[in-house]
Amino acid sequence: VIMYADKVTPSMERAIRETNRRREIQTAYNEANGITPTTIVKDVRSILEISIKADDEKPGKKLSPRERGQMIIRLTAEMKAAAKILEFEHAAYLRDKIEKLRSMK
């Protein structure tokens, strides 16, 4: 976490101390269990596939209740997949699309 401020407030100091405390616990656990932390590597192709799938429906197209239900199910699965690969902004976008579909009558 990167913090920008002119001065460190008491709340910031507590947050920093807590973060350092947790980091020490995690480091000790990793050393005890022979774990080497690694950076998350995301496959760009899978992220793009999610984006393409989300935009494959035609804007303005009238959907039957059945089609709308199927699209909600599909978008929900894609939203969960996006969240699983830590693409939270895309997951939020899909969540908003799902809510829009649910509000349509």
- 15 and 61 in one domain? no
79 burial type by CB count under 10 A (0-12 exposed, 13-18 middle, 19+ buried): buried
**59-94 residue pLDDT tens:** 567 888 898 999 999 999 999 998 898 888 889 999
- 56 and 15 in one domain? no
- 93 and 73 in one domain? yes
- 98 and 60 in one domain? yes
- 51 and 25 in one domain? no
**3-41 residue pLDDT tens:** 888 999 999 999 999 999 999 999 999 999 999 999 877
What is the number of structural domains in the chain? 2
- 32 and 71 in one domain? no
C-alpha dihedral, 73 to 74 to 80 to 82, nearest 10°: -160
| Residue 64: per-residue pLDDT | 87
Q: Give residue 5's domain range.
A: 1-38
| Greatest Cα pair distance in the chain | 58
- 48 and 34 in one domain? no
